Structure formats: structure tokens, C-alpha cells
Amino acid sequence: MKGLRLTIARQTVSSILDTLGDDDFFNIIAYNQEIHYVEPCLNGTLVRADRTNKDHFREHLDKLFAKGIGLLGEALTEAFSILNDFNQTGRGSVCSQAIMLVTDGATEMYDDVFEKYNWPERKVRIFPYLIGRESAFADNLKWMACANKGYFSQISTLADVQENVMRYLHVMSRPKVIDHEHDTVWTEAYVDRSFLFLLQLNDKSGPSLTTTVAMPVFSTKNETNQGILLGVVGTDIPLQELMKLIPKHMLGIHGYVFAITNNGYILTHPDLRPLYQEGQKRRKPNYSSVDLSEVEWEDKDYILRNAMVNRRTGTFSMEVKRTVDRGVRLQISMLSGCILDGCFLI
């Protein structure tokens, strides 16, 4: 796994990361005679696939180098253990699980590992990616994929990476197609470049943010029971249009409204400042993934945040500190409001 093969392997892992979203959790393990976590500080667990974490792992990918031989059996055992522990504790999405194996070959089938950790339920899918033109070990990797409800791909050049990586999505989507599950997804708030001219550069309204709502499109033909994902349909919605649905008569004179995504990221909030300075178009790098706890920092026990993420409804109160007179004075008051399925009225 040296030279061009290592370059292709890095690009393959990076392309897999591109397919993950904020609802997914992941980790990356490198192996030779020993197991090495790409990020040593995050060993034995999974992390959310947000933009910050994915960029952080990409930086560590460049530090990988080939050395010795790969003991795949120990790496598979470690991967199955992490997924099993993460699933049993109820963390993460508790949904589909998969192991993406990027390698230049496997001398064994490792059926003893699969029999111990994955059979007969086969809850974890295996997706082997064979790097290079040689096919001496292709049969072993194909068997791993078929025996664990996965898909085998061989990547010979950098030009083949994107096409082969995307194939696993069709396999993962088949259960949803068969069960007719049409999940609706709302993205985080962002400033669309095509709508930069809509920026309201004054202190009250700030930049005009947009969210996207999307859902998958499946084939409804009856000649196949495998399920086919045709694509995704979606539309952009300015947050200003969503704000028009807020019952303003329920707000007091100092009241305000904020909304978050299912991951706790802010969709709209008076203290959300996506630009470095008012009157400029330069955006902060992670403005679209600001957690509610970073703004409503008085919610130290995440009571309000967890209630909104879990879509609970009702009333809530806590003590907050606010600045008045343009930050000259500090005011301590009681925050009281009503939770309306992901939106909070104060």
C-alpha cells in the first residue's frame, strides 16, 4: 500500500466522508501489525460526521504511511466491538451500521470473526474497496461483501474513486425503498451564494439565511424487489418565510424566537452572527453548525436543548443574563417560554 495505492486509498476514505452527514457517526482505523486510530484522542468511540470532525480527520489522513503487513482480523474485531458498544448504549443514530474496508488485499476470509460478531443477524454490512489493478485477493473480499450484505468494489485509478464509492449508497437505501420510508431532511441554515444580493446589511435583520428541505425519490416499479434509489428532490426555503409562521402575538416586548435542527444546530437566533463584521460578505467558517449551547449558555445541563431536539412540547423557565443599553449594563431575568416542536418562543 505505497505510492499511488496509498494516494487512492486516502482519496477513497475522503470521498466516503463526503457522503456522511450530521446524522451519521464514524471513526477511522489504520492497521498493520497493530491497530492505529487516525485520531488517537478518539479511540474506541464514534464521532458525529459534522464538517469540523470530517475536516479534522482529513488532516490526519495525510499523515498515514505504509509499513509492515496488515492484520485485518484484529482491525475487524475492533470495528465490530465499537459498533456493538455504541449501539447497545443507545448513542448515535441507532440505525444502519457498516464497515468500509479500504485495502490492497486480504489473504483470508475471516469467517471466524464474522461468525462471532455479525452472524446470523448480519446487522453490520461490509463494503470492501480493493485498491489497485491486481485481483489476486478479489475473491476473498467479494465473499466478505456477499456474506455480510455489502458490496465489493475495485478501484484502480483516482478517476474511479467517486463512482465506486457512491455505489454503497444504493445498497444502504434498499431497505428504505422496500419499506417505503421517505424521510424528510432539513439542512442547517446557510447563506446561499446565489442569493447574496438578498443580504440585509443592517443591525436588526442581518444576512438572509436559507434552509433546504429534501426527501429521497424511490422507484415504484414492481418488477424488482431490490429497491432503487432514483435521486433526491428538494427546495430552498428562506428562513424569513418560516419566521412568518411564528405567532408573534405570543411574544412579549423583549421576546424573541429561535429554532434549531434535530442535531441542536441553530437555524435562526438573534445572537447568530454568521458574518465577521456587519456590512461585509465574509462568512465565518462554521457559522452553519453553531450549537444552541454556544448561544443559550445558561442552559448548562442541556435541559432546553435536549427537550427541543427530542421535540417535546410544553413550557420551560430558567434564569438568564442579558446585556442592555448596547452592552453597557447586565440584566438578570427569568427566561420563560413555550416549546413548539423544534422552535422556542420567549
Q: Is the pLDDT of residue 280 over 70?
A: no
**Cα separation of 135 and 128, whole Å?**
13
SS3 129: strand
Q: Mention every residue, 6+ apart, whose C-beta is less than 8 A from residue 89.
A: none
Across residues 120-130, what is the average pLDDT? 95
Range of lowest pLDDT (43-47, 247-251, 312-316): 247-251
Q: What are phi and psi of 210, to 5 degrees?
A: -135, 150
Give the three-class secondary structure for 145. Answer: helix
pLDDT band at 101; cut points 50, 70, 90: very high
Q: How confident is the model at residue 261 (pLDDT cuts 50, 70, 90)?
A: confident
Residue type, 106: A
Locate 234 and state its grid cell.
428538494
pLDDT band at 75 (very low <50, low <70, confident <90, very high): very high
Does residue 295 have a pLDDT over 90? no
Please give the mean pLDDT across all residues of the chain.
83
Per the DSSP assignment, residues forming a β-bridge with 210 are: 190, 238
Q: What percent of the chain shows pLDDT beyond 90? A: 37
3-class DSSP state of 228: coil
Which pLDDT does position 202 carry in this prediction?
A: 41
What digits encode the pLDDT tens for the residues 224-233? 556 677 888 9
Task: Count Cβ atoms below 10 Å from residue 171 Cβ, excluding itself.
Answer: 19
**% the chain with pLDDT above 70:** 83
The sign of the dihedral angle between the CA atoms of 272, 277, 281, 286 is: negative
How far apart are the C-alpha atoms of 233 and 153, rounded to whole Å? Answer: 28
DSSP sequence for 7-21? HHHHHHHHHHHHT--
| Amino acid 118: pLDDT | 95
Query: What would you report as the CA-atom Rg of the chain, rounded to the nearest whole angstrom?
Result: 24
Does the pLDDT value for residue 195 go beyond 60? no
CA distance 129 to 54: 20
Orientation of helix 4-18 relative to helix 161-178, angle to 10°? 30
Mean pLDDT within 253-270: 83
Least confident of 62-71, 171-180, 195-204: 195-204
pLDDT tops 50 at residue 198 = no
The grid coordinates of residue 311 equal: 421535540
Please give the span between the terminal C-alpha atoms of the chain, in angstroms, as a whole number: 57
Scored b (16 or more CB within 10 A) or e, 223-242 reads eeeebebeeeeeeeebbeeb
In this structure, the number of other CB atoms found within 10 A of the CB of residue 182 comes to: 11
Q: Does residue 236 have a pLDDT over 70?
A: yes
**Arithmetic mean of pLDDT, 303-313:** 86
